[in-house]
Each structure stands twice: as structure tokens, then as C-alpha cells.
Amino acid sequence: MKRALAVIGILALATTACSGSGGGNVPGVSSAGGPVTVRWSTWGSADDVKVYEEFMQDFEKRHPNIKLKLEPVAKYEDYHPKLLTQLTSKTAPDVFFVGDDNIGKIVSAGVLSPLNDLLGGPDSKSKPEDFFEGIYGGAKKDGKIYGVPNDTNPEVLWFDKKALKDAGITEDPAALYAAKQWTMAKYLEMNAKLKAAGKAGSIFWNWYGSTYSIINGFGGKVWDGGKFVATTDAKAREALQTLAKGYQDKTFLSADLQPASNGPDTQFLKHKAGFYAGGRWMIESLKKGGELADYDIVPFPSQSGEPMPGAVAASYLALNKDTKLPKEAFTFLTEFVSKEGQLIRLKTGAAVPSIKGAEQVVLQGNYPAHAQTFLDVRDNGFANYPEEVGVPGLTADINDQLMKVWTNKVGFDQGMTELQKLVESKMG
């Protein structure tokens, strides 16, 4: 669930709309003379998805010739298999979400319409250059755009001021970052003090956002020239070894492994950990049981203290190559991801806009104190590497292998050897 929230923030409400796909020769008018229906899909339960309701109502009011039919799938892990089945059988929606860990696979399947000309055309409300290059990730291939980032969740380190104080830490991570003194050495020193005080240093979810941000913080590389080098690059290997040691001595906690009765959010709210890696979605968790003033955010540290590219969770809105309503479907797509669309969708959500000009969504309310950090990480960050997301299942396999290392089911050296072989076998 947290993985899905990191990718898209809070999702949309399924609404009942007119059914049936349009036809006819007049754009936006069915053969029966009424409005056409654009089908679109995403993942999320009925409770999760209310963020989209206002946008859909606004869109239909402005486009009386187009009705929208949302077809949500409750669970993220069920969504893409269903979508692929629909694409194969030519029954897929006109427009649909694709997660950043599946976009490469679906691009390679040749089922998406390239969007460059449409986005650059006179009817576009969202130009290609309106989005930050790093967050296109696997949605861009050979210069062609096949999916537009609908919103993002930059991975940052939330920190608990009370937990740090209880551990005898007097320095403020955000102040250190502003002074360009937020180094990996300083961060690890704080984690050690938290551990000595009987607390966890940091809580991480086992996904590329946290793992690759730590590798970047050590100055390491994950992919280089199309090759997976995380196990052979000296600094990347040092980062992974630091994570393995930290997980095994409980300096770091894997959020994935915490019991439901004492989950990662609960532990953070009870001041049992100093840092929690996550996105803007954490605000909702903190509101439910925390003193908001106790928490702030900082980017992942670097070796030198200078800012570095951080991981950005993203999902993409794509256009079905076989849609019978290309004009109307694109109208929906471009307005959904436009500045105005994101301002409507995200004002009560927990994501960060993917488009330039909608920054007020993040800065309004002045929370957390350093909310600008979300935007800084987004502007200079990266979605998962195109080389990785282009191979079906590779990201999940990497995470599963790393979990064996984190839990010491295989030794570090053996785990790295197995990881390299696994990636090479997948890459063909």
C-alpha cells in the first residue's frame, strides 16, 4: 500500500458515467448523436480515489460532449496484469495510468501512442518542456514520449526532532543541508547515536527510491552505460554493505517487515526512530497521530554536503494506441496533467505536481517547514532508470534479492554475486 501511495499520492473516486465507446464522424459526438465516453483507469480503492472526483466533474462541465468513465483496480499488484490482458484483447481503456516500475514493459509492447506531436500541438495544455526531464524515466524512449508524469512523490528523509533530541543530537538536519554540511558521514553518525539511545536510526521501504538514494549519497552508480554496476562500483557496493549492516544490527528498519500491530508509521509517531524515508504522503500519516511540529524533511545526504539527484516516484498517463477516440482521449490526458488539472487534483492530495507552475500545492500551509525540499528534489531528481524499468519484473527481482541480503539469508558477498547474475540473466 505504501508503495502505491509513494507512486501516486492519494487516488481517485470511481464515478458512474455514461458507458459505451463513441464513434461517428463528429469529434465528441457518438453515432447516436449523444456525447462520447472516454474510459480511463488507475489503481486505488473507492476510499483512496476521491481526489479525482472534482476534476472529472469540472472536465465534463467544460466538455459536455465528453463523458468520463473511471475503471479503477483496487490493488496495485493486480492493476498492470489486468491492463496487459486488456491491451492484448483490445479491450483496454482509452487512457490509463502506468506505474514507474511497469512503464518500460508497456512501452516496449508497442501499445501506446507517441505523444510528442500531440503535446507540442495547438490543442495541448501541457507541453513536453513543462515537465522535468529526470522524471520521464522509462516513459521516454528514443526521444519519443509515451507517457506523461501525472504527479510525483520525491523521496526525502522525514526526521523527528524529539527523537533526535532524546538521542542527544543537537544539530538540525535541515539547517545542516542549508549550510551544505549535510553529509553522509553526519547522517550515519546521527543514526549511530539514535541506535545507542535505544531507537532505530532510519526506516526505509525496500524499493529503489531509498536504496538508490543511499547509493547516490555515497557517490556510487547503479547503472552506467546500460550496464548494472551497483555490485561492482566501489562506492555503490560500500553503500549496499552499509545498508546490510544497518538492517542486521537494527540501526535501520525495513518498513516492509514491521508487524501490523506496530507498523513503521506507528513507530515513527511514537518517536522510536529518528528518520523515515518517504514522500509527501507522510503528511497524512502524521496528521492522524503526531504533533506536526515535531517533524520536518531534508534530502538524502551526499558525501560532500552539496545537493545531489534524489529518487522521485512517478506514475504516467498514457494513450491507448487503439483508442477509437484519439482526440477526446488526448483532451482528457492533456488537461489531467496540466497545471490547472494538477491544481484541482492535488490540493487535497498527498503528491507533488509533476508540472512547472503548480508549486503552490506544496507550499500552501507552510508544512513541513522545509516543504520547498520536495520541489528541489523533484526538479533535480530521477525516476527509476530506463534500463531497469525496460525489463519486465527486474525492479521487483532486485528488491527481492536485496531483501535476502538485508535479512542475512545470504551473506553480503554471495548476495552481490547472485544479484549481478540475476540482472545479467534478465538483461539477456
Residue 286: Cβ-neighbour burial (10 angstroms; 0-12, 13-18, 19+): buried
Q: Is 222 helix (H, G, I), strand (E, B) or coil?
A: coil
Task: Flag whether 385 is in a domain.
Answer: no
Residue 111 sits in the same domain as residue 46 = yes
Share of the chain above pLDDT 90, in %: 83
Q: Is 111 helix (H, G, I), strand (E, B) or coil?
A: coil
Q: pLDDT tens for residues 33-49?
A: 679 999 999 999 887 78
Residue at 241: amino acid letter: Q
The CATH number of whichever domain residue 76 belongs to comes to: 3.40.190.10
Task: Flag whether 386 is in a domain.
Answer: no
Residue 251 sits in the same domain as residue 203 = yes
Question: What is the DSSP-derived secondary structure letter of residue 338?
Answer: S
Q: What are the CA-CA distances from residue 353 to residues 7, 157, 341, 374, 378 (Å)?
A: 12, 19, 10, 10, 9
Question: What pLDDT is stored for residue 65 in this prediction?
Answer: 97
Number of structural domains the chain divides into: 2
pLDDT of residue 7 exceeding 60, the answer is no
Residue 295 sits in the same domain as residue 355 = no
Question: What pLDDT is stored for residue 349 in this prediction?
Answer: 65
Exposure on the CB side of residue 92, measured as CA atoms within 13 A: 28
Beta strand pairing call for 95-99 and 312-319: antiparallel
Q: Is 145 helix (H, G, I), strand (E, B) or coil?
A: strand
Residue 107 sits in the same domain as residue 252 = no
Residue 50: Cβ-neighbour burial (10 angstroms; 0-12, 13-18, 19+): middle
390 — pLDDT class (breaks 50, 70, 90): confident
* pTM over the 0.95 mark: no
Q: Is 203 helix (H, G, I), strand (E, B) or coil?
A: strand
Supply the range of the domain harboring residue 216: 156-310+391-427
